[in-house]
Structure 1
């Protein structure tokens, strides 16, 4: 990586075993004013985070967060980065912001447990497409901050005003989009796919508004959303449980006849 990042427009890394633990060191975070695109693909042994965020000694005494914008980053694609654990490792003193990010695609990042934190997701005012697939350790898309009570007190509702396409595929440990208490408003969302996410129990625990969403593409096919996404998921879970009970009962009856 370059010694200076001021003129860096694009990061494109593919199958680089020597890339190290992080891509962008903490001392370069304020030099990314021209960065527009990040693409990381294939085996990058040992790469654990894209942006290094470290706690500066003595910062724990400050009551305010340091906001670090990455102002012109529009596209991020991560594919097959198996050891990646964080886009950045969040802490309560520094928050990265991505005000012009429009597209984020993550695939086959099997060590990644979450994508965003609640303290920074509100900065994604231009995000239009969010596609996450084949991430076997993914538990939530938006994770609560370590200081949950502080976050809840400052943020009543998180709005992603331009998000229109959200696709969640093959995330076997995903429990929900966000399991915190925050309310979410997704006023432009018209495409929602949730497929092969067998452990999802709820989309959000807080209130969810998706006024333009009419259908959800799921393992059950394309389904109408007659109430809200959370109610839809709850109803489908009940249907699945009922079907399992019915099928199990039928199987036991058939099996009992066979062994007679």
Structure 2
């Protein structure tokens, strides 16, 4: 099938017919290898009830909705849009999914009808290998101010999401504010920019709550400072396995004081596997983030999570031992945290801090073969810890001390009774041991670990090739 609607004969110069499709709520076109367009010839379709539009794996499509005859008549565009709609409006469309459209170079025209997609809330684009951008002009972008969620994944040629370089913001009368709440960008190997062409006073994304950027190897800068500054309601930021060198950078000619607070409402921050990351903000910037509950920073080049008191008070703006200034002041952030990832360098700096609200701790990345498990650190600062994950380390034992907290390589101070160390971890109910290649045993009679295991409700072990026995048979039979 090449067309769903077609006329038997079309006369040259004949005006386009208007067809109203009054009751269709969902239009799903899937795996139609010969389909070229919804209509053949000069038609203008009206969809007053259409709420959801999905097109998937229709590889021969030229224009799926719109007047495809424009292409045949010689009005050839440099990039052929999937939706060739200029005057057509979709007054009730709320969701659009474009999946596995290998030949699509562009989604829509730059010059759309003013209310073309006025109610569109969700846009999802996946596996469209020739697509270079999602929004290619400022005018186009303003037609989508009610979009709440954008998901773009696995588009091999995509270079930018919001591309609006041609617009002169100095001529704009007011800032355009968008309702976008969630932005997910995954596996976009050629994406160099999320936003490009933004200037002072142009656009605001202050409604954005969640942003995830994962496996985007060509991306070096995540935010321009003015864009980041507008995101006052951002709650979750995840950046993982990207080529990012800086999270925020200043635009040319725009100065930002180091006292400026980015993302004041941030609750969850994850910066994972970013080997080229040098700093969070190119100017010295230590964030307080009073609402931050979850912090995960791992394998981020030379950027450190926490700064020392000396750096904050007298060394701000300089590097220390080749490292860029850290993101956080521990005094400001630690008291509020509930979930945290710590690597060996963090633990050395945070030995004397108290994590009173922390419930979930991922600890690890001790690659030195002689590394000692930090029992003393855990037994003196985590009274409310419920989940402990020990990850990717060379430890031969976990909590190697005896039941009173003595022995092993990091002895505990205080009375020699069992209650003292156990009380320190009295709320611990879940233990995960992951990728501990040298771990030889968990249980040892009379050890602190043996006592801890008696109170654990959930134990998960994975990737521990040297471990042959988890629990003794007598304990197993008794339980």
Q: Please give the TM-score of this superposition, normalised by the length of structure 1.
A: 0.72
Structure 2 counterpart of 1:174: 277
Over the residues paired in the alignment, what is the CA RMSD in angstroms? 3.6
Tell whether the 8 Å contact from 1:216 to 1:222 is kept in structure 2 after alignment: no
Secondary structure in structure 2 of the residue aligned to 1:121: helix
Trace 1:11-26 onto structure 2 (pairs within 5 A): 11-19=123-131, 21-26=132-137
Q: Which residue of 1 aligns with 2:191?
A: 84
1:23–1:52 Cα change, 3 Å = same
In structure 1, the residue matched to 2:256 is 151
Q: What SS class does the counterpart of residue 158 from structure 1 fall into? A: coil
Q: How does 1:99-138 map onto structure 2 within 5 Å? A: 99-135=206-242, 137-138=243-244
CA distance 1:10–1:215, shift in 2 (3 Å): closer
Give yes or no for contact 2:200–2:226 (8 Å, CA) kept in 1.
no
Question: Which residues of 2 match residues 233-244 of structure 1 at below 5 A?
Answer: none
1:217 to 330, 341, 348: 341
Q: Deviations over 1:124-177 (max 9, x none)?
A: 122111111000x200111122224x334xx84224232111111100000121
CA distance in 1, matches of 2:219, 2:270: 17
Residues 63 and 205 (structure 1), Cα distance of their counterparts in 2 relative to 1, 3 Å cut: farther
Q: Secondary structure at the residue paired with 2:261? A: strand
Q: CA deviation at 1:190?
A: 2.3
Structure 2 counterpart SS, 1:116: strand
Partner SS, residue 271 of structure 2? strand
Find out whether 1:67 has 2:175 as its counterpart.
yes
What is the DSSP-based 3-state SS (H/G/I as helix, E as strand, rest coil) of the residue aligned with 1:126? coil
- Say if 1:17 and 1:191 are closer, same or farther in 2 by CA, change over 3 A: same
Query: In structure 2, do the counterparts of structure 1 residues 139 and 46 end up closer, same or farther at CA, with 3 Å as the change threshold?
Result: same
Distance 2:200 2:126 in 1: 32
Q: CA deviation at 1:221?
A: 8.6
* Structure 2 stretches lacking a partner, 5+ long: 1-106, 304-322, 354-366, 371-479
CA distance in 1, matches of 2:293, 2:328: 21
Matched residue pairs, number? 223
**Contact 1:99–1:126 (CA<8 Å) still a contact in 2?**
yes
- CA positional deviation for 1:196: 1.2
Q: Could you tell which deviates more after superposition, 29-38 or 176-185? A: 176-185
Query: Counterpart of 1:13 in 2: which secondary structure?
Result: strand
Greater per-residue helix proportion: 1
Distance 1:24 1:218, change over 3 A: same
C-alpha distance 221-164 of structure 1, shift in aligned 2 (>3 A):
farther
Residue 18 to residue 214, structure 1, CA distance change in 2 (3 Å): closer
Partner of 1:34: 146
Tell me, in whole angstroms, the C-alpha distance in 1 between the residues paired with 2:227 and 2:136. 19
Q: TM-score, normalised by structure 2?
A: 0.41
Answering whether residue 308 of structure 2 is matched by residue 196 of structure 1, we say: no
CA distance in 2, matches of 1:182, 1:67: 27
Query: In 2, are the aligned partners of 1:50 and 1:87 still within 8 Å (CA)?
Result: yes
Higher relative contact order (CA 8 A, sep 6+): 1
Select the structure of larger CA radius of gyration: 2
Q: Distance in 1 between matches of 2:280 and 2:269?
A: 10
Q: Distance in 2 between the 1:88 and 1:28 partners? A: 14
Stretches of structure 1 that go unaligned for 5 or more consecutive residues are: 228-239, 244-260
